[in-house]
Amino acid sequence: MTGALIVSGGSRGIGAATAICAARQGWDVAINYARDENAAVSVADQVRSFGRRAIIVKGDMCNEEDIQRLFNDTEKELGPLKGLVTSAGTTGKTVRIEDITAEAINKVMQLNVVGLMLCCREAVRRMSTKNGGGGGNIVNLGSAASRLGGPNEFVHYATSKGAVDSFTLGLAREVAGEGVIVNAVSPGMIDTEIHASAGLPNRAVEAVPGIPIRRVGQPEEVAEAIVWLLSKGASYCAGAIIPVTGGR
């Protein structure tokens, strides 16, 4: 299945790699970004280089109005929605639980859980055959942290990704009979700027000894799994959570 695809957080990291990989497979892509317009424009240009259509849409995926505008603009410019990848997310800053604030917890949960759920809500409203849609695919971005727990660094982030896993399983079973196929990808240690944003620029490299494959993953490797889940090749996958972790 191809058509109009929304990639939240599509201007950087795994989201950007997914937008480009999806275009290579025939998707038209709406690239959501929060701050860096130049990065979003660059991704859109790469999407168009494959002969596909692209739009960029600025919006905070913590904000319900911005989320609704993203979906409305996408359908206005690219046609009926057929796919959603929820790659917008944050780790928050590294902190032990005894030192964490309610504000820090809420910031991570609002984007990683509430915003993701609202994006999926908007997708189901448009894609579900129950609601008059033509079906489609949703791929949520989880994390191996949901299994590992993130001790001494990101327990709050790991908790948010555990919620993503649970939501993916529940939503998949809720809408599979309505033509909406929901799955997730669970990346391990991937070479993106998210580590530096959390204040740990060397975190990925330092983790290599604990990764059985003995290297850090690349965003493109996660993107390949995501785009496969969007494809007809994954037509019997529903509620799957695929680890892309190098064996970790």
Total residues belonging to the chain = 248
d(CA 188, CA 216): 8
236-22-143 Cα angle (round to 5):
70
Known catalytic residue: 236? no
DSSP one-letter string for 28-52? EEEEEESS-HHHHHHHHHHHHTTT-
Backbone angles phi, psi at 199, to 5 degrees: 90, 15
Q: How far is CA 53 from the centre of its chain?
A: 20
DSSP one-letter string for 66-85? HHHHHHHHHHHHH-SEEEEE
User: 232 to each of 2, 84, 98, 180, 225, how far by Cα in Å?
Assistant: 9, 15, 46, 13, 13
Name the active-site residue from 27, 154, 157, 228. 157
- Look at the block and give the residue holding tokens 């509430």: 114
- Pick the closest to residue 226 from 137, 151, 110 (CA basis): 137
Strands 54-58 and 81-86: unpaired
Task: Report, in angstroms and rounded to the nearest whole number, the Rg of the chain calculated over CA atoms.
Answer: 17
- Pick the closest to residue 29 from 64, 73, 67 (CA basis): 73
Q: Which residues does the annotation mark as catalytic? A: 157
